[in-house]
Structure 1
Amino acid sequence: MRQQEKKRRSIGIRGQLMWFLCLICLLLLGMFWFLSTQLLEPLYTKHIQKQLTEEADLIVTKMDEAIASGTTLSYWAFGGIKVTNEEFFSQLGSEIYSGGELSSFCVDISDATLRTIKKYENLSYCSLHQKSFPDTLDDDAFYSTARQVRQYCRENGEFARVLPAAKPSAYNQLVVGRMTSDGAYTVLVSTTLMHVSEAGTVLSTVLPLAAALIFAFSMSAAWLFSEWFTKPLRQLSGAARQVAQGNYAVHVETRRNDELGDLAEDFNHMAKEVQRASQMQRDLLANVSHDLRTPLTLIKGYAETVRDITGDDKAHRDEQMNIIVDEADRLTALVSSVMELSKVTSGAEKCEKVHFDMAQLCDEVSERYDAICTQNGWQLRLELPEEELPVYADPNMMQRALHNLLGNAMHHIGADGVFVLRAEKCAEGVRVEVEDHGPGIAADDLPYIFDRYYRSRSDAGRQGTGLGLSITKAIFQQHGFRFGVQSTVGKGTTFWFLMTSR
Structure 2
Amino acid sequence: MRQTSKTRRTIGIRGQLMGFLCFICLLLVGLFWFLSTQLLEPLYTTHIQKQLTEQADAIVARMDEAIGKGETLSYWAFGSRLYVNSTFFNALRDDIFELGGMSSFCIDISDTTLRQIFKVDTLPYCNLHRTRPTDTADEQTAYTTARAMRQLCRESGGTVVRKINPPTPSGSVQLMVGRMTSDGNYTVLVTTSLMHVAEAGKVLSTVLPLAAALIFAFSMSAAWLFSEWFTKPLRALSGAARQVAQGNYAVHVDSVRNDELGDLAQEFNHMAKEVQHASQMQRDLLANASHDLRTPLTLIKGYAETVRDLTGDDKKHRDEQMNIIVDETDRLTALVSSVMELSKVTSGALKCEKVHFDMGQLCDEVSERYDAVCAQNGWQLKLEIPDEELPVCADPDMMQRALHNLLGNAMHHIGEDGIFVLRALRCPEGVRVEVEDHGPGISAEDLPYIFDRYYRSRSDAGKQGTGLGLSITKAIFQQHGFRFGVHSTVGKGTVFWFIMTDTEDAAAQ
- With the shorter chain as reference, the TM-score category is over 0.9
For 2:448 and 2:7, how far apart are their aligned partners in 1? Answer: 42
Between 477-486 and 156-165, the greater mean CA deviation after superposition: 156-165
Counterpart amino acid of residue 191 in structure 1: T
Between 161-170 and 205-214, the greater mean CA deviation after superposition: 161-170
Q: Who is 1:434 aligned against? A: 435
> Which whole-Å deviations, capped at 9, do the CAs of 1:251-272 have from their partners, x for residues lacking one?
1111111111111111111111
Q: Who is 1:149 aligned against? A: 149
Q: Who is 1:268 aligned against? A: 269
Maintained 8 Å contact 2:414/2:439:
yes
Counterpart amino acid of residue 209 in structure 2: P
For 1:191 and 1:92, how far apart are their aligned partners in 2? Answer: 19
After TM superposition, where is structure 1 displaced by more than 3 Å over at least 4 residues in a row?
A: 1-8, 130-135
SS at match of 2:252: coil
Shift of 1:443: 1.0
Shift of 1:5: 3.8
Shift of 1:144: 6.3
Percent of paired sites with the same residue: 79
For 1:340 and 1:416, how far apart are their aligned partners in 2? Answer: 33
Q: Who is 2:166 aligned against? A: 165
What TM-score, normalized by structure 2, do the two folds share? 0.95
Query: For residues 470 and 112 of structure 1, do their structure 2 counterparts lie closer, same or farther at Cα, with a shift above 3 Å needed?
Result: same
> Which whole-Å deviations, capped at 9, do the CAs of 1:60-84 have from their partners, x for residues lacking one?
1111111111111111111511111
Query: For residues 143 and 84 of structure 1, do their structure 2 counterparts lie closer, same or farther at Cα, with a shift above 3 Å needed?
Result: closer
Q: Who is 2:59 aligned against? A: 59
For 1:153 and 1:168, how far apart are their aligned partners in 2? Answer: 26
Counterpart amino acid of residue 311 in structure 2: T
SS at match of 1:145: helix
Matches within 5 A, 1:297-376: 297-376=298-377
Q: Who is 1:446 aligned against? A: 447
SS at match of 1:501: coil
> Which whole-Å deviations, capped at 9, do the CAs of 1:195-231 have from their partners, x for residues lacking one?
1111111111111100110111011000000000000
> Which whole-Å deviations, capped at 9, do the CAs of 1:471-502 have from their partners, x for residues lacking one?
00000111111111111111111100011111
Between 153-162 and 222-231, the greater mean CA deviation after superposition: 153-162
Counterpart amino acid of residue 418 in structure 2: G
Maintained 8 Å contact 1:133/1:166:
no
For 2:153 and 2:172, how far apart are their aligned partners in 1? Answer: 22
SS at match of 1:276: helix
Q: Who is 2:507 aligned against? A: none
Shift of 1:156: 0.9
Q: Who is 1:382 aligned against? A: 383
Q: Who is 2:45 aligned against? A: 45
SS at match of 1:365: helix
SS at match of 1:101: coil
For 1:406 and 1:229, how far apart are their aligned partners in 2? Answer: 54
Maintained 8 Å contact 1:143/1:149:
no
Query: For residues 200 and 347 of structure 1, do their structure 2 counterparts lie closer, same or farther at Cα, with a shift above 3 Å needed?
Result: same
For 1:207 and 1:143, how far apart are their aligned partners in 2? Answer: 41
Matches within 5 A, 1:77-476: 77-130=77-130, 132=138, 145-157=145-157, 158-476=159-477
Shift of 1:55: 0.6
Q: Who is 1:74 aligned against? A: 74
Counterpart amino acid of residue 129 in structure 2: H
Maintained 8 Å contact 1:413/1:419:
yes
Shift of 1:9: 2.8
For 1:63 and 1:3, how far apart are their aligned partners in 2? Answer: 88
Counterpart amino acid of residue 310 in structure 1: T
For 2:100 and 2:439, how far apart are their aligned partners in 1? Answer: 99
> What RMSD, in angstroms, separates the aligned Cα atoms of the two structures?
1.5
Query: For residues 79 and 417 of structure 1, do their structure 2 counterparts lie closer, same or farther at Cα, with a shift above 3 Å needed?
Result: closer
Counterpart amino acid of residue 255 in structure 2: T
Query: For residues 134 and 455 of structure 1, do their structure 2 counterparts lie closer, same or farther at Cα, with a shift above 3 Å needed?
Result: farther
Query: For residues 343 and 132 of structure 1, do their structure 2 counterparts lie closer, same or farther at Cα, with a shift above 3 Å needed?
Result: farther
Matches within 5 A, 1:27-38: 27-38=27-38
For 1:5 and 1:455, how far apart are their aligned partners in 2? Answer: 45
Listed as ranges, the gaps of 5+ residues in structure 2 are 131-136, 504-509
Q: Who is 1:494 aligned against? A: 495
SS at match of 1:431: strand
What TM-score, normalized by structure 1, do the two folds share? 0.97
Maintained 8 Å contact 1:165/1:171:
yes
Counterpart amino acid of residue 47 in structure 1: H
SS at match of 2:310: helix
Counterpart amino acid of residue 38 in structure 1: Q
> Which whole-Å deviations, capped at 9, do the CAs of 1:437-465 have from their partners, x for residues lacking one?
11111111101110111111111110000
Shift of 1:10: 3.4
SS at match of 1:465: coil
For 1:15 and 1:350, how far apart are their aligned partners in 2? Answer: 48
Counterpart amino acid of residue 370 in structure 1: D
Query: For residues 5 and 384 of structure 1, do their structure 2 counterparts lie closer, same or farther at Cα, with a shift above 3 Å needed?
Result: closer
Counterpart amino acid of residue 312 in structure 2: G
Maintained 8 Å contact 1:437/1:491:
yes
Number of matched residues? 496
> Which whole-Å deviations, capped at 9, do the CAs of 1:355-405 have from their partners, x for residues lacking one?
110000000000111111111111100000010001111111100000000
Q: Who is 1:139 aligned against? A: none
Shift of 1:128: 1.1
Shift of 1:100: 3.5
Maintained 8 Å contact 2:152/2:160:
no
Shift of 1:134: 10
Listed as ranges, the gaps of 5+ residues in structure 1 are 136-141
SS at match of 1:148: helix
Counterpart amino acid of residue 72 in structure 2: T
